[in-house]
Amino acid sequence: MTVTIVGSQLGDEGKGGVVDIFGDAVDVVARYQGGDNAGHTVVHEGEEYKLSLVPSGAVRGKTGVLGNGCVVNPATLFEEIDALRERGLDPDVRVARRAHIIFPYHRVLDGIEEEAKSEDGEEVGTTGRGIGPTYEDKAGRRGIRAGDLVNEEVLREKLEYVVPQKRALAEDVFGVEVGEEFDVDALYEEYSEYAERLVEGDMLVDAGDFLAERLDAGEEVMFEGAQGTLIDIDHGNYPYVTSSNPTAGGAATGTGLGPGVVGDGDVVGIVKAYLTRVGSGPLPTELGGVEGDTPGYTQGEGRAEELATYIRDEGGEYGTVTGRPRRVGWLDLPMLRHSTRVNSFTGVVINHLDVLAGLDEVKVGRAYELDGEEIQTIPATTQRWADCEPVFETFDGWAEFDSEVVAEEGYEALPAEARAYVEYIEDELGVPAYALGVGPGREETVVRTNPFE
Ligand code: GDP
Ligand code: IMO
Ligand code: MG
């Protein structure tokens, strides 16, 4: 059986924590897209683990797989594995031979293009990890895959083809002088060492075969989505998106198991009880951005700005990877309706209910107004989305509560106003809330349904 965990909004909904909470019965956790742009937090026995590439299940001794849909920076991978080992864990991580590899020139080019775009205030606000340029090379059929690293001749041949192109792009198109990151010999040497380590650790797999065998043996597999639906390259807020498919369909194409396998299990949308965004792009229900931040944000005023700051601080809303303060807004239902359809959610997990506790009132953008009409989902173009004005529904706030007590006693122990908020979301989306996050810790979750049971 499989369960797929998908970000329903703009990333950082608390996916890592949910993988952990539902992960007891799981044998294998597979990432199906993205790379070290992700930042997933797991709190285990009071210790916080922040993982960008190693699947979250590794903290609990599960086998982690980076599927063919991922882009893998081996430097980050080994750094992360070594850091976990230093903390007494022994992560078992496998890498799909079909996964594309991030090289230093991808990171440099990511930065160069962002810089060029920023002259007109058009930058995406990427994590700078080289994600876009690596997926570009994949689509351009000039990428280098994990399976290529272990074949010396193939690796050298491919580097010799691609690196001069990249150098010319940097120097002749963008006018930026580049260094070792674009040197074939240096790259060959560095990446041959990674290859050795991949082979020694028996880490390379044909992901589809590997996962199918584990399923056939009766094991449970969890697909761990990174990023979120609104930054999906196809279904998100293009061009302010990442370059992969975080949506549930990605779990099939990004692992080598078919849509029948993914669709046979639950698909769980992870929802933050409000909204955050790092990076540029519109956000109709935005309360307030951060001074000097990326383009497209709404500078809140007075009470809105105060609320944004309050929620940011209460929720610790600073980027896991980049440390950037996150923009903050109210929950956006048109966004979640879009997300529920795109992903076929069978249920959701609503996190961060504790963060909103203590507010007098809580708002939800229940629809948008566009050209004098009320609409229920998201327009396909960013320009139209930016024109949408939110139509708010106001809820009574709920008082602060003891998260551990509520998690232990169950759903009914939540303040009635918080339950009304949850039930409104369930009704609007037509799916149940499997669990509710009331704090960052593992014990701070109200579990109503475990999709593996
Ligand atoms: P991910 O990228 O979706 O895995 O989420 P991140 O780890 O980037 O961000 C979520 C943050 O919120 C982490 O610091 C989590 O520990 C924390 N978190 C998750 N669920 C809850 C919750 O219900 N309440 C609070 N206060 N924090 C939570
Ligand atoms: P997790 O898995 C939030 C955003 C970046 C930028 C855009 C493109 O922790 O939820 P990229 O580096 O991917 O080319 O950047 O996507 N972004 C994320 N935002 N959470 C993430 O991951 C993100 N990964 C990328 O901020 O706007
Ligand atoms: Mg994150």
HSE (side-chain half, CA atoms, 13 Å) at 59: 25
Residue type, 124: V
How do the residues of the chain divide into helix, strand and coil, expressed in percent and rounded to 5? 40, 20, 40
HSE (side-chain half, CA atoms, 13 Å) at 327: 29
The span from the CA of 261 to the CA of 344, in Å, is 14
Among candidate residues 12, 92, 137, 354, the one labeled active-site is: 12
Select from 227, 271, 326 the residue to mutate for testing ligand 2; criterion: most ligand atoms less than 8 Å from CB: 227
400 Cα to the center of ligand 1, angstroms: 18
CB-based contacts of 192: which residues, under 8 Å, 6+ apart? Answer: 149, 152, 155
CB-based contacts of 177: which residues, under 8 Å, 6+ apart? Answer: 170, 171
Active site residue 209: no
Ligand 2 proximity of 231 Cβ (cutoff 6 Å)? yes
299 Cα to the center of ligand 2, angstroms: 21
Among candidate residues 20, 36, 40, 293, the one labeled active-site is: 40
Residue keyed to tokens 């929620």: 311
What atom of ligand 2 comes closest to residue 278's alpha carbon?
Answer: 26
CB 411 within 8 A of CB 401: no
Tell which phi-psi region holds residue 11, choosing left (phi > 0), alpha (psi between -120 and 50) or beta. left
Q: Whose CA is nearest to atom 13 of ligand 2?
A: 242
Q: Which helix (H) or strand (E) holds 392?
A: strand 389-396
Residue 267's Cβ-count burial label (10 Å; 0-12, 13-18, 19+) is buried
The span from the CA of 100 to the CA of 259, in Å, is 22
Token pair listed for 98:
């079909």
> How far out from the chain centre does Cα 167 lie?
30
| Segment 121-126 long-range contacts (CB within 8 Å, at least 24 positions apart) | 121/295, 122/295, 123/280, 123/294, 123/295, 124/239, 124/240, 124/241, 124/279, 124/280, 124/281, 125/240, 125/278, 125/279, 125/280, 125/294, 125/324, 126/37, 126/242, 126/279
4 Cα to the center of ligand 1, angstroms: 18
Active site residue 12: yes
Q: Where do the H-state alpha helices sit in 87-139? A: 104-118, 131-139
Residue 54 has what DSSP assignment? S
Counting runs of H as helices and runs of E as strands, what totals does the chain give?
Answer: 16, 21
> How far out from the chain centre does Cα 125 lie?
15
Q: What is the pLDDT of residue 5?
A: 98
Q: What is the pLDDT of residue 292?
A: 57
CB 170 within 8 A of CB 108: yes
Select from 351, 404, 406, 414 the residue to mutate for testing ligand 1; criterion: most ligand atoms less than 8 Å from CB: 351
Ligand 2 proximity of 17 Cβ (cutoff 6 Å)? no
Ligand 1 proximity of 41 Cβ (cutoff 6 Å)? yes
Q: Tens digit of pLDDT per residue, the chain (453 long)?
A: 999 999 999 999 999 999 999 998 999 999 999 999 999 999 888 899 999 999 999 999 999 999 999 999 999 999 999 999 999 999 999 999 999 999 999 999 999 999 999 999 999 999 999 999 999 999 999 999 999 999 999 999 999 999 999 999 999 999 999 999 999 999 999 999 999 999 999 999 999 999 999 999 999 999 999 999 999 999 999 999 999 999 999 999 999 999 999 999 999 999 999 999 988 899 999 997 776 555 666 666 778 888 999 999 999 999 877 788 899 999 999 999 999 999 999 999 999 999 999 999 999 999 999 999 999 999 999 999 999 999 999 999 999 999 999 999 999 999 999 999 999 999 999 999 999 999 998 889 999 999 998
Q: What is the pLDDT of residue 299?
A: 67
The span from the CA of 396 to the CA of 361, in Å, is 5
125 Cα to the center of ligand 3, angstroms: 15
Residue keyed to tokens 């990333």: 11
218 Cα to the center of ligand 3, angstroms: 31
